[in-house]
Amino acid sequence: MNRFRIASMIALTAVVAACSKKPPPAPAPAPAPAINQDSIDRANKARADSIAAAETARRRAEEAARAAEETRRIEAARAAARNTLVAKVYFDYDMDNIRPDQQATLDAKVPILNANTDIHLRIAGHTDDRGSDEYNLALGQRRAASVRRYLVARGIGESRMDIVSYGEQRPVATGENEEAWAQNRRAEFEITAGGNPIKVP
Protein backbone atom coordinates (compact mmCIF):
# COMPACT_ATOMS: atom_id res chain seq x y z
CA MET A 1 0.00 0.00 0.00
CA ASN A 2 2.73 2.36 0.92
CA ARG A 3 4.46 1.83 -2.39
CA PHE A 4 1.22 2.41 -4.29
CA ARG A 5 0.73 5.75 -2.59
CA ILE A 6 4.21 6.99 -3.54
CA ALA A 7 3.71 5.97 -7.17
CA SER A 8 0.40 7.89 -7.30
CA MET A 9 1.98 10.96 -5.99
CA ILE A 10 4.78 10.94 -8.54
CA ALA A 11 2.27 10.52 -11.35
CA LEU A 12 0.13 13.41 -10.06
CA THR A 13 3.17 15.69 -9.91
CA ALA A 14 4.06 14.87 -13.50
CA VAL A 15 0.58 15.76 -14.75
CA VAL A 16 0.62 19.05 -12.94
CA ALA A 17 4.01 19.89 -14.42
CA ALA A 18 2.82 19.12 -17.96
CA CYS A 19 -0.18 21.39 -17.75
CA SER A 20 1.88 24.27 -16.60
CA LYS A 21 4.38 24.16 -19.56
CA LYS A 22 3.86 25.60 -23.07
CA PRO A 23 3.82 23.21 -25.95
CA PRO A 24 7.09 22.89 -27.95
CA PRO A 25 7.24 24.26 -31.53
CA ALA A 26 6.00 21.89 -34.28
CA PRO A 27 8.78 20.08 -36.13
CA ALA A 28 9.47 20.91 -39.78
CA PRO A 29 7.40 18.69 -42.18
CA ALA A 30 9.29 15.69 -43.62
CA PRO A 31 10.10 15.85 -47.29
CA ALA A 32 7.50 14.00 -49.45
CA PRO A 33 8.81 10.49 -50.29
CA ALA A 34 9.73 9.81 -53.90
CA ILE A 35 7.13 7.43 -55.40
CA ASN A 36 8.66 4.33 -57.11
CA GLN A 37 5.84 3.43 -59.48
CA ASP A 38 7.72 0.40 -60.88
CA SER A 39 7.94 -1.34 -57.58
CA ILE A 40 4.25 -0.73 -56.98
CA ASP A 41 3.46 -2.20 -60.32
CA ARG A 42 5.66 -5.17 -59.57
CA ALA A 43 4.01 -5.71 -56.27
CA ASN A 44 0.57 -5.39 -57.75
CA LYS A 45 1.45 -7.79 -60.54
CA ALA A 46 2.93 -10.28 -58.16
CA ARG A 47 -0.21 -10.07 -56.12
CA ALA A 48 -2.42 -10.51 -59.19
CA ASP A 49 -0.28 -13.37 -60.42
CA SER A 50 -0.49 -15.08 -57.11
CA ILE A 51 -4.24 -14.72 -57.10
CA ALA A 52 -4.48 -16.04 -60.66
CA ALA A 53 -2.21 -18.96 -59.88
CA ALA A 54 -4.28 -19.83 -56.88
CA GLU A 55 -7.39 -19.55 -59.01
CA THR A 56 -5.89 -21.82 -61.68
CA ALA A 57 -4.81 -24.33 -59.12
CA ARG A 58 -8.25 -24.25 -57.60
CA ARG A 59 -9.84 -24.67 -61.00
CA ARG A 60 -7.50 -27.51 -61.85
CA ALA A 61 -8.19 -29.23 -58.56
CA GLU A 62 -11.88 -28.86 -59.18
CA GLU A 63 -11.52 -30.24 -62.66
CA ALA A 64 -9.46 -33.16 -61.33
CA ALA A 65 -12.06 -33.79 -58.67
CA ARG A 66 -14.79 -33.57 -61.28
CA ALA A 67 -12.84 -35.99 -63.52
CA ALA A 68 -12.22 -38.36 -60.63
CA GLU A 69 -15.86 -38.13 -59.72
CA GLU A 70 -16.78 -38.79 -63.35
CA THR A 71 -14.40 -41.78 -63.44
CA ARG A 72 -15.90 -43.05 -60.24
CA ARG A 73 -19.37 -42.55 -61.69
CA ILE A 74 -18.45 -44.39 -64.91
CA GLU A 75 -16.77 -47.20 -63.00
CA ALA A 76 -19.76 -47.49 -60.73
CA ALA A 77 -22.05 -47.52 -63.75
CA ARG A 78 -19.90 -50.18 -65.38
CA ALA A 79 -19.85 -52.24 -62.22
CA ALA A 80 -23.60 -51.85 -61.98
CA ALA A 81 -23.99 -52.92 -65.61
CA ARG A 82 -21.74 -55.90 -64.97
CA ASN A 83 -23.72 -56.83 -61.86
CA THR A 84 -26.95 -56.50 -63.78
CA LEU A 85 -25.55 -58.76 -66.49
CA VAL A 86 -24.54 -61.50 -64.02
CA ALA A 87 -27.53 -61.17 -61.69
CA LYS A 88 -28.96 -64.63 -61.00
CA VAL A 89 -32.51 -65.70 -61.69
CA TYR A 90 -34.39 -68.25 -59.60
CA PHE A 91 -36.80 -71.09 -60.37
CA ASP A 92 -39.61 -73.06 -58.75
CA TYR A 93 -39.17 -76.69 -57.73
CA ASP A 94 -38.83 -79.05 -60.70
CA MET A 95 -39.73 -76.15 -63.07
CA ASP A 96 -37.76 -74.46 -65.82
CA ASN A 97 -40.12 -71.62 -66.82
CA ILE A 98 -39.08 -68.00 -66.15
CA ARG A 99 -41.08 -66.86 -63.13
CA PRO A 100 -42.89 -63.50 -63.56
CA ASP A 101 -40.93 -62.06 -60.62
CA GLN A 102 -37.67 -62.99 -62.35
CA GLN A 103 -38.42 -61.35 -65.71
CA ALA A 104 -37.21 -57.89 -64.64
CA THR A 105 -33.81 -59.37 -63.78
CA LEU A 106 -33.51 -60.75 -67.30
CA ASP A 107 -35.07 -57.69 -68.98
CA ALA A 108 -32.43 -55.47 -67.36
CA LYS A 109 -29.71 -57.43 -69.12
CA VAL A 110 -31.10 -56.74 -72.59
CA PRO A 111 -30.00 -53.06 -73.06
CA ILE A 112 -26.54 -53.93 -71.73
CA LEU A 113 -26.19 -56.82 -74.15
CA ASN A 114 -27.44 -54.56 -76.95
CA ALA A 115 -24.85 -51.88 -76.07
CA ASN A 116 -22.04 -54.45 -75.91
CA THR A 117 -22.39 -56.66 -78.94
CA ASP A 118 -18.97 -58.20 -78.23
CA ILE A 119 -20.08 -59.71 -74.95
CA HIS A 120 -20.61 -63.47 -74.75
CA LEU A 121 -22.30 -65.07 -71.78
CA ARG A 122 -22.20 -68.53 -70.27
CA ILE A 123 -25.49 -69.38 -68.60
CA ALA A 124 -25.26 -72.19 -66.03
CA GLY A 125 -28.38 -73.92 -64.75
CA HIS A 126 -28.50 -75.29 -61.20
CA THR A 127 -31.00 -77.22 -59.09
CA ASP A 128 -31.61 -77.98 -55.44
CA ASP A 129 -30.59 -81.38 -54.13
CA ARG A 130 -34.01 -82.98 -53.95
CA GLY A 131 -34.87 -85.71 -56.39
CA SER A 132 -32.65 -87.63 -58.77
CA ASP A 133 -29.26 -85.98 -59.20
CA GLU A 134 -29.12 -87.45 -62.72
CA TYR A 135 -32.49 -85.98 -63.66
CA ASN A 136 -31.48 -82.73 -61.98
CA LEU A 137 -28.43 -82.41 -64.24
CA ALA A 138 -30.80 -82.46 -67.22
CA LEU A 139 -33.15 -80.05 -65.45
CA GLY A 140 -30.30 -77.58 -64.90
CA GLN A 141 -29.54 -77.66 -68.63
CA ARG A 142 -33.20 -77.01 -69.38
CA ARG A 143 -33.24 -74.02 -67.00
CA ALA A 144 -30.22 -72.53 -68.75
CA ALA A 145 -31.92 -73.14 -72.10
CA SER A 146 -35.08 -71.48 -70.81
CA VAL A 147 -33.11 -68.35 -69.86
CA ARG A 148 -31.37 -68.25 -73.23
CA ARG A 149 -34.70 -68.66 -75.05
CA TYR A 150 -36.11 -65.71 -73.09
CA LEU A 151 -33.18 -63.48 -74.07
CA VAL A 152 -33.25 -64.64 -77.70
CA ALA A 153 -36.92 -63.67 -77.80
CA ARG A 154 -35.81 -60.15 -76.78
CA GLY A 155 -33.40 -59.88 -79.66
CA ILE A 156 -30.14 -61.22 -78.25
CA GLY A 157 -28.23 -63.47 -80.65
CA GLU A 158 -28.33 -67.11 -79.55
CA SER A 159 -24.69 -67.62 -80.54
CA ARG A 160 -23.65 -65.12 -77.87
CA MET A 161 -24.91 -67.39 -75.09
CA ASP A 162 -23.46 -70.79 -74.17
CA ILE A 163 -25.49 -72.91 -71.80
CA VAL A 164 -24.24 -75.51 -69.34
CA SER A 165 -25.63 -77.39 -66.37
CA TYR A 166 -24.21 -78.29 -62.99
CA GLY A 167 -27.41 -79.83 -61.66
CA GLU A 168 -27.16 -80.07 -57.88
CA GLN A 169 -23.34 -80.26 -57.87
CA ARG A 170 -22.62 -76.56 -57.13
CA PRO A 171 -24.89 -75.45 -54.29
CA VAL A 172 -24.60 -71.85 -53.00
CA ALA A 173 -26.57 -72.64 -49.86
CA THR A 174 -26.46 -75.71 -47.67
CA GLY A 175 -29.29 -76.97 -45.58
CA GLU A 176 -32.39 -79.04 -46.08
CA ASN A 177 -34.91 -76.23 -46.01
CA GLU A 178 -36.86 -74.15 -48.51
CA GLU A 179 -34.62 -71.12 -48.05
CA ALA A 180 -31.54 -73.07 -49.11
CA TRP A 181 -33.37 -74.93 -51.86
CA ALA A 182 -34.76 -71.67 -53.30
CA GLN A 183 -31.26 -70.14 -53.46
CA ASN A 184 -29.89 -73.19 -55.23
CA ARG A 185 -32.59 -73.36 -57.95
CA ARG A 186 -30.95 -70.76 -60.12
CA ALA A 187 -29.26 -69.74 -63.35
CA GLU A 188 -25.87 -68.03 -63.10
CA PHE A 189 -24.23 -65.80 -65.72
CA GLU A 190 -20.57 -65.47 -66.57
CA ILE A 191 -19.07 -63.03 -69.09
CA THR A 192 -16.83 -65.25 -71.21
CA ALA A 193 -15.77 -62.63 -73.84
CA GLY A 194 -16.00 -58.88 -74.52
CA GLY A 195 -17.05 -56.08 -72.22
CA ASN A 196 -13.55 -54.63 -71.72
CA PRO A 197 -14.56 -52.03 -70.88
CA ILE A 198 -18.25 -52.60 -70.71
CA LYS A 199 -20.33 -49.85 -72.37
CA VAL A 200 -23.06 -48.48 -70.19
CA PRO A 201 -26.24 -47.98 -72.23
Partner 1 sequence: MNEERIEQAGCAKRRAAPACHWLNVGVAAALALVVTAAPGRAQDTVPAGVRIGLTYDRSGKPAVALAPVAGPNADSVFAIMARDLDFSDRLTVIRQDSGDAPTGALNYDLYAKLNAAAVVQATVTPTGGLHIAVHEVAGKRVALVMDLPLPSPALSRDWRHVVHIASDSVEWSVLGRPGIASTRIAYTIQYGGAITLVDFDGEGAWQVPGTHDCLSPSWDPTGTKVACNALPEGNSPSRIEVHDLATGRKWTTRATGNNQTAVFSPDGRTIVFSAGSDAQDLYSVPVYSDSAPRRLTSRRGSLNVSPDFSPDGRKIVFTSSILGHPEVYIMDADGSSADLLTSSGFGDDLYRSDPAFSPDGRRVAFQSRIKGTFQVMAISVADKSTVQLTSEGANESPSWAPDGRHIVFVSTRTGRRELWVLDAESSRARQLTHGGRAQNPAWSPRLSFPRQP
Determine if 164 is a binding residue for partner 1 (CB under 8 A).
Answer: yes
Residue closer to partner 1, measured from CB, 38 or 134: 134
Determine if 166 is a binding residue for partner 1 (CB under 8 A).
Answer: yes
Determine if 184 is a binding residue for partner 1 (CB under 8 A).
Answer: no
Residue 143 and residue 22: Cα distance in Å, rounded? 115
Residue 175 and residue 129: Cα distance in Å, rounded? 10
Determine if 170 is a binding residue for partner 1 (CB under 8 A).
Answer: yes
What are the residue ranges of helices labelled H in the chain?
A: 2-20, 37-86, 103-107, 109-115, 133-153, 178-184
Determine if 141 is a binding residue for partner 1 (CB under 8 A).
Answer: yes
- Kindly indicate which of the ranges 65-73, 79-87, 129-137, 193-201 contains the residues binding partner 1, using the contact rule CB under 8 A: 129-137
Determine if 182 is a binding residue for partner 1 (CB under 8 A).
Answer: no
Task: Quote the distance between the C-alpha of residue 20 and its chain's center.
Answer: 82
Please list, residue by residue across 43-68, b when 16 or more beta carbons sit within 10 angstroms of its beta carbon and e when fewer do.
Answer: eeeeeeeeeeeeeeeeeeeeeeeeee
Residue of 160, 165, 185, 188 interacting with partner 1 (CB under 8 A): 165
List 186's β-bridge partners, or say none: 90
- Kindly indicate which of the ranges 29-37, 70-78, 101-109, 139-147 contains the residues binding partner 1, using the contact rule CB under 8 A: 139-147
Least distance in angstroms from the C-beta of 63 to partner 1: 44
Determine if 133 is a binding residue for partner 1 (CB under 8 A).
Answer: yes
List 190's β-bridge partners, or say none: 122
Least distance in angstroms from the C-beta of 174 to partner 1: 10
Q: Supply the DSSP symbol for 100.
A: G
Task: Quote the distance between the C-alpha of residue 62 and its chain's center.
Answer: 17
Determine if 123 is a binding residue for partner 1 (CB under 8 A).
Answer: no
Residue of 135, 154, 172, 173 interacting with partner 1 (CB under 8 A): 135
List residues near partner 1 by CB under 8 A.
Answer: 94, 131-135, 137-142, 145-146, 149, 163-166, 169-171
